[in-house]
Amino acid sequence: MKFILSLLLCIAVASVMQGKPKEHGPRVETLLAAMTLEEKIAQMTQVDYTAIQNNADDVIKYSLGSILWGGSSEIKDITAPGWAAVYDSLQRLTEKTRLKVPMLFGIDAVHGHNNVNGAVIFPHNIGLGATRNAKLVGRVARATAEEVRGTGIHWTFAPCVAVARNERWGRTYESYGEDPALVAELGAAYVKAVQGTKLSDKTSILASVKHFMADGGTTNGVDQGNTECDEATLRKIFMPGYVAAIKAGARNIMVSYNSWNGVKMHGNKYLMTDVLKKELGFTGFLVSDWAAIDQIDKDYKTAIEQSINGGLDMVMIPNGPGTHNNYVEFMTILGALVKENKVPMSRIDDAVRRIVSVKYDMDLFGNPYTDAKLTAQVGSQAHREVARDAVRQSLVLLKNEGNVLPLSKKAKAIHVAGRGADNIGMQCGGWTISWQGAMGNYPDGGTSILQAIRKTVSKGTKVTTSADGSGAEAGDIGIVVIGEEPYAEMKGDREDLTLSKDDAAVVATMKAKGIPVVVVLLSGRPLIIDPALQASTAFIAAWLPGTEGQGVADVLFGDYKVSGKLPHSWARTMKQIPINIGDKPYDPLFPYGFGLTYKK
């Protein structure tokens, strides 16, 4: 009899997974009923690739529910075909599990599929905020989705709908700007476009709206710090992005490291359950950030209990020093908490129901593997044209003395200086191939600003270059590309945002040659830019434009009329930071929304 019942159960589960009824609710419930406690907890467990790469059989042994590639979890072959091969090999292991539930695979594709060599890297969100163009953001999201699916992966940890309120914060460039309305509009546009008409489409991927909540409002801009404000302010400034994203169809939200008035978000039941799931009606699932539950309590068991009971559905288990990196430990402890009645089975079922429902939404049961046709589209010219347009629209003109811009393509000689002139890595910033990014001309397929200038000017124009500005007397005009070296979260926090002395010196050297000097600033936030601003003839905030430096040249030489508007108020001195629109007094160097246009 037990054998017959087991056989009938397997047939029932197989049939609901193979069928494609319009409503998959019954399929979810049938699958949930078939799962053991251990299999349910495995669905709530997300394992970092570096922890599983030498233990791949654990996918089968534990029926793991999800794998992620964290900031520094790259595979050996980081080309698109290389990523696709690893993805397919791991997903194929689920066919050997008892219930054959496919895994979710997530990655930080935050400005294009930025872990893939040869992929198109788009401007970081601060640049997209300067475009004020929701349709453009949608085009960027669509291209990103196609490239991510080209590697089999189907879940991006984006968009970030943080409202950055202090430029000291090292993740400022991940925010669309300081205004909640702008962030909500562009974040919703990204969610709609990246998820497509429906999540089951072959070119759609799951968005992860992050980081819930108020990560951009911490005291002194400290990453993972404490946001101190009343609930009315929390709702007014930091919640609109989530309201808009949920209305746009968001099915996943990532919880933030930061605290609100001393309480860690990962343990805040009021915000995760009462506000997000009940009040806002969020029906998707919540995923933790990297090892974030470890910060709730020194006792790991207590941290797990509080986070799961608080409303967390999936836990990201990293693989690194100083963290609880054993996914088996997590699953064992959570199982014990259920058996001890400290975590109710109803909470486990709710979490798994949310996760599995999204897997059905995505048609992972019916279409789990890479489409080779999409792999061939990674880094395509069509996607590069989208990125080029995004770069053009993101540039903000802060100064244009004597209407020196746009430049003539027929100038006799142009000298291009600065460490950012021929440096794609600096253009891209953090989250590019590696977590923190790096200087140098990579990823493959990109165009540096110097290369773009040479492609744009006439054959008779002589273009010379130097890092320090030497040799500028050979030019009729100088272009200086300066700014911040790449960085990402944690390492990007800065107490002093003053432009480096070396960068200021290059501008001064060029100015001393007696030629007009156009400064192009590559940065993830507004910097304190005097005296370089004073020494310049024209000054452009180019943010972190990504691989398509041709978009910068398009604006410099007038093939596209500059149109960007500041997504952040620009401070005169460090004493003014934080400075945001609506402050009293409000006396920035350049106000929120500032941006000159060409007069010729």
Same domain, 451 and 358: no
CATH code at 157?
A: 3.20.20.300
Residue 32 lies in a domain: no
Q: What is the Cα–Cα distance from 19 to 164, expressed in whole angstroms?
A: 45
Note whether 299 and 422 are same-domain residues.
no
- Is residue 375 within 8 Å of residue 84, measured between CB atoms? yes
Tally of residues, the chain:
600
Average pLDDT over residues 276-291: 97
- With respect to residue 162, please indicate whether it lies within any of the assigned structural domains: yes
Are 52 and 81 in a shared domain? yes
Residue 236's contacts (CB-CB under 8 Å, 6 or more residues apart) are 180
Q: Are residues 337 and 414 in the same domain?
A: no
Residue 230 has pLDDT above 70, yes or no: yes
Dihedral sign computed on CA atoms, order 535, 536, 539, 543: negative
Q: Residue 532 belongs to a domain with what CATH number?
A: 3.40.50.1700
Residues 412 and 300 both lie in one domain = no
Do the domain assignments include residue 383?
no
Examine the domain organization and report whether 370 and 405 are in the same domain: no
Answer yes or no: is 16 within a domain.
no
Q: Would you place residue 436 in the very low, low, confident or very high pLDDT band (cuts 50, 70, 90)?
A: very high
Domain boundary among 313, 340, 375: 375
Residue 593 lies in a domain: no
With a cut of 60, say whether residue 202 has pLDDT above it: yes
Which residue, 375, 405, 423, sits at the end of a domain? 375
In the chain, how many domains are there?
2
The verdict on residue 27 lying in a domain is: no
Please answer whether residues 40 and 28 qualify as being in contact, where contact means their C-beta atoms are separated by less than 8 angstroms: no
347 shares a domain with 457: no
Q: Which two tokens stand for residue 85?
A: 């091969």
Asked whether residue 28 is assigned to any structural domain, the reply reads no
Q: Tokens 């009971």, residue?
A: 309
In this structure, are 175 and 285 located in the same domain?
yes
Which of 65-74, 282-291, 342-351, 377-386 has the lowest average pLDDT?
A: 65-74
Q: Is the pLDDT of residue 81 over 60?
A: yes
Q: What is the pLDDT of residue 323?
A: 61
Q: How far apart are CA 393 and CA 542, in angstroms?
A: 10
With beta carbons less than 8 A apart as the criterion, state whether 571 and 589 touch.
Answer: yes
Residue 596 inside a domain? The answer is: no
Average pLDDT, whole number, for the chain? 94
Give 146-186 pLDDT, tens digit per residue: 999 999 999 999 999 999 999 999 999 999 999 999 999 99
Same domain, 215 and 361: yes
Taken in order 110, 178, 418, 72, the sign of the CA dihedral is negative
**Do 330 and 437 belong to one domain?**
no
Claim to verify: residue 164 and residue 272 sit in the same structural domain: yes
Q: Give the active site residues.
A: 289, 489
Q: How confident is the model at residue 320 (pLDDT cuts 50, 70, 90)?
A: low
Distances (CA, A) of 285 to 282, 340, 363, 518: 8, 25, 17, 48
Q: Is the distance from CB of 462 to CB of 456 less than 8 angstroms?
A: no
Please check the confidence at residue 236 and state whether its pLDDT lies above 70: yes
The pTM assigned to this predicted structure is 0.95
Of 341, 375, 409, which residue is a domain's last?
A: 375
Do 457 and 520 lie in a common domain?
yes
User: If 0-12 CB within 10 Å is exposed, 13-18 middle and 19+ buried, where does residue 349 land?
Assistant: middle
Q: Residue 179 belongs to what domain range?
A: 44-375
What pLDDT shows up at residue 474?
Answer: 75
